[in-house]
Amino acid sequence: MLFARQNHSCESALLPGDIFRVLLAAPPRAVGMRLLLCALLALLAPRAASKTVLDSKSVFKNIDADGDGAATHEELVGYLRDNKAEGFQARHDGVMDAQRRRIASLVNALDVDKDNHVSHGEFPGKASFADKATFDEADENKDGRLSAGEIITHQAGVHSPQVMMYRAALKVFGRADEDESGALTHAELEKHIGFFQQHTMHEEF
């Protein structure tokens, strides 16, 4: 009999689908209450995701470059630059791939006179380029209108890996710097290590 040969327990790590295949293959009398309970637990309990939680002590030591026990925003940015540049570059590349497609559609939609450029007045009020300072910053040749290329170049700067690192560090400080001292202690980082891990290109949960 199937269940005489195999030891099925809740510790067997069967997937829910596997459990049901076992149940369907077994004679009704061979299905004990324990296996039914295991099947129910497999359905109701969320499967634990494979995750690696960072060692907060080791991470803090690497961030705290001067070893004074207080990790500053600048030290965190430096840590990300030295250890996570590849990840932030990959994120930048993904963002810019999406931006290029969006910008091409945007220019086509806003370009009323179809000259392949968008003037300041053609941007809707809520668009970032409706702000004259932002528009002028992106207008590289200062001709009073933006091409798709100029918009893409501007957005590449806005979403550069360096800017992303700076913003990620700000986000971490906004959550973890509980005493608003402008520096993180190891205790603060340890308490918020999950948030840090999710927002700094470390292995995600």
| Judgement on whether residues 118 and 37 belong to the same structural domain of the protein | no
Nearby residues of 64 by Cβ (< 8 Å), 6 or more positions away: 70, 71, 75
Residues 192 and 119 placed together within one structural domain of the fold? yes
Q: Could you tell me the pTM of the whole model?
A: 0.67
* Mean pLDDT (whole number) for 155-178: 96
Q: Which amino acid belongs to residue 86?
A: E
Nearest alpha-carbon partner for 124 in 105, 102, 106: 106
Note whether 68 and 38 are same-domain residues: no
Q: What is the pLDDT of residue 25?
A: 59
- Residues 13, 97 within the same domain: no
Specify if 205 maps to a domain. no
Considering only residues 135 and 2, tell me which one the structure prediction assigns the higher pLDDT.
Answer: 135
Range among 11-20, 146-155, 195-204 with highest mean pLDDT value: 146-155
Give the pLDDT of residue 202.
Answer: 80
Q: Which two tokens stand for residue 88?
A: 């932030």
Q: Is 25 helix (H, G, I), strand (E, B) or coil?
A: helix
- Parent domain of 13: 2-44
Structure-token pair, residue 198: 């999710």
pLDDT at 7 over 50: no
CA angle 22, 11, 33 (to 5 degrees): 55
Q: What is the pLDDT of residues 66-125, one digit of tens each?
A: 999 999 999 999 999 999 999 999 999 999 999 999 999 999 999 988 899 999 999 998
Domain count for the chain: 2
**pLDDT at residue 156, as a whole number:** 96
The alpha carbon of residue 168 and the mean position of all alpha carbons in its chain are separated, in whole angstroms, by 10
- Does some domain include residue 166? yes
Both 195 and 118 in a single domain? Answer: yes
Q: Indicate whether 188 belongs to any domain.
A: yes
